[in-house]
Amino acid sequence: MTITKKTDGDTLTVVVDGWLDTMTAPKFQEEVQDLCGAKNVVLDFGGVEYISSAGLRETVALYRRVAAQGGAFSVRKVSAGVMDVFTLTGFDRKFEIRAD
Protein backbone atom coordinates (compact mmCIF):
# COMPACT_ATOMS: atom_id res chain seq x y z
CA MET A 1 0.00 0.00 0.00
CA THR A 2 1.23 3.44 -0.79
CA ILE A 3 -0.04 6.73 0.53
CA THR A 4 0.40 10.11 -1.12
CA LYS A 5 -0.63 13.34 0.57
CA LYS A 6 -1.36 16.66 -1.16
CA THR A 7 -2.27 19.93 0.50
CA ASP A 8 -4.49 22.40 -1.30
CA GLY A 9 -5.23 25.40 0.91
CA ASP A 10 -6.81 24.07 4.09
CA THR A 11 -7.74 20.75 2.50
CA LEU A 12 -5.53 17.68 2.70
CA THR A 13 -6.00 15.01 0.05
CA VAL A 14 -4.75 11.54 0.99
CA VAL A 15 -4.43 9.19 -1.98
CA VAL A 16 -4.43 5.54 -0.89
CA ASP A 17 -3.32 2.81 -3.24
CA GLY A 18 -3.57 -0.88 -2.28
CA TRP A 19 -5.34 -2.94 0.38
CA LEU A 20 -6.32 -1.26 3.60
CA ASP A 21 -6.31 -4.21 5.98
CA THR A 22 -4.88 -5.44 9.25
CA MET A 23 -1.34 -5.35 7.86
CA THR A 24 -1.51 -1.93 6.28
CA ALA A 25 -3.76 -0.14 8.76
CA PRO A 26 -0.88 0.74 11.12
CA LYS A 27 0.98 2.32 8.22
CA PHE A 28 -2.09 4.30 7.23
CA GLN A 29 -2.52 5.47 10.80
CA GLU A 30 1.09 6.63 10.87
CA GLU A 31 0.80 8.48 7.56
CA VAL A 32 -2.30 10.42 8.50
CA GLN A 33 -1.03 11.27 11.95
CA ASP A 34 0.20 14.57 10.58
CA LEU A 35 -2.55 16.51 8.83
CA CYS A 36 -0.04 19.18 7.75
CA GLY A 37 -2.22 21.84 9.39
CA ALA A 38 -5.11 21.22 7.05
CA LYS A 39 -8.66 21.66 8.29
CA ASN A 40 -10.48 19.43 5.82
CA VAL A 41 -9.49 15.94 4.66
CA VAL A 42 -10.35 14.12 1.43
CA LEU A 43 -9.51 10.42 1.22
CA ASP A 44 -8.93 9.32 -2.36
CA PHE A 45 -9.77 5.60 -2.39
CA GLY A 46 -9.39 5.26 -6.16
CA GLY A 47 -6.66 2.66 -5.62
CA VAL A 48 -8.30 0.81 -2.74
CA GLU A 49 -9.74 -2.52 -3.86
CA TYR A 50 -10.21 -3.91 -0.38
CA ILE A 51 -10.83 -2.67 3.11
CA SER A 52 -11.24 -4.64 6.30
CA SER A 53 -12.48 -3.59 9.70
CA ALA A 54 -8.94 -2.56 10.64
CA GLY A 55 -8.94 -0.11 7.73
CA LEU A 56 -12.43 1.02 8.65
CA ARG A 57 -11.36 1.74 12.17
CA GLU A 58 -8.50 3.95 10.95
CA THR A 59 -10.80 5.73 8.54
CA VAL A 60 -13.31 6.38 11.30
CA ALA A 61 -10.53 7.52 13.65
CA LEU A 62 -9.38 10.00 11.03
CA TYR A 63 -12.92 11.22 10.48
CA ARG A 64 -13.35 11.79 14.19
CA ARG A 65 -10.17 13.85 14.37
CA VAL A 66 -11.21 16.01 11.42
CA ALA A 67 -14.73 16.36 12.77
CA ALA A 68 -13.35 17.35 16.19
CA GLN A 69 -11.43 20.25 14.64
CA GLY A 70 -14.54 21.30 12.73
CA GLY A 71 -13.28 20.26 9.33
CA ALA A 72 -15.00 18.52 6.44
CA PHE A 73 -14.28 14.86 5.76
CA SER A 74 -15.05 12.86 2.64
CA VAL A 75 -14.05 9.64 0.95
CA ARG A 76 -13.88 9.75 -2.85
CA LYS A 77 -13.55 7.36 -5.76
CA VAL A 78 -14.83 4.45 -3.69
CA SER A 79 -15.11 1.13 -5.56
CA ALA A 80 -18.32 -0.90 -5.36
CA GLY A 81 -16.85 -3.58 -3.09
CA VAL A 82 -15.47 -1.04 -0.62
CA MET A 83 -18.69 0.95 -0.80
CA ASP A 84 -20.57 -2.19 0.29
CA VAL A 85 -18.49 -2.40 3.45
CA PHE A 86 -19.16 1.25 4.27
CA THR A 87 -22.85 0.79 3.62
CA LEU A 88 -23.09 -2.42 5.62
CA THR A 89 -21.49 -0.82 8.64
CA GLY A 90 -23.58 2.34 8.36
CA PHE A 91 -20.62 4.72 7.97
CA ASP A 92 -22.13 6.08 4.79
CA ARG A 93 -24.59 7.82 7.08
CA LYS A 94 -21.79 9.52 9.03
CA PHE A 95 -19.61 11.12 6.38
CA GLU A 96 -19.52 11.77 2.73
CA ILE A 97 -18.59 8.72 0.66
CA ARG A 98 -18.66 9.07 -3.08
CA ALA A 99 -17.92 6.85 -5.98
CA ASP A 100 -16.52 9.77 -8.04
Binding site for another protein (CB under 8 A): 21-23, 49-50, 52-54, 56-57, 60, 64, 81, 85, 88-91, 93-94
Pairwise CA distance, residues 12 & 53, whole Å: 23
Least distance to another protein, CB of residue 93, Å: 8
CA 44 to chain centre: 7
Q: Which is nearer to another protein, 6 or 64 (CB)?
A: 64
Least spacing, CB of residue 52 vs another protein, in Å: 5
Q: Which is nearer to another protein, 18 or 50 (CB)?
A: 50
80: left (phi over 0), alpha (psi -120 to 50) or beta: alpha
Please count the residues of the chain.
100
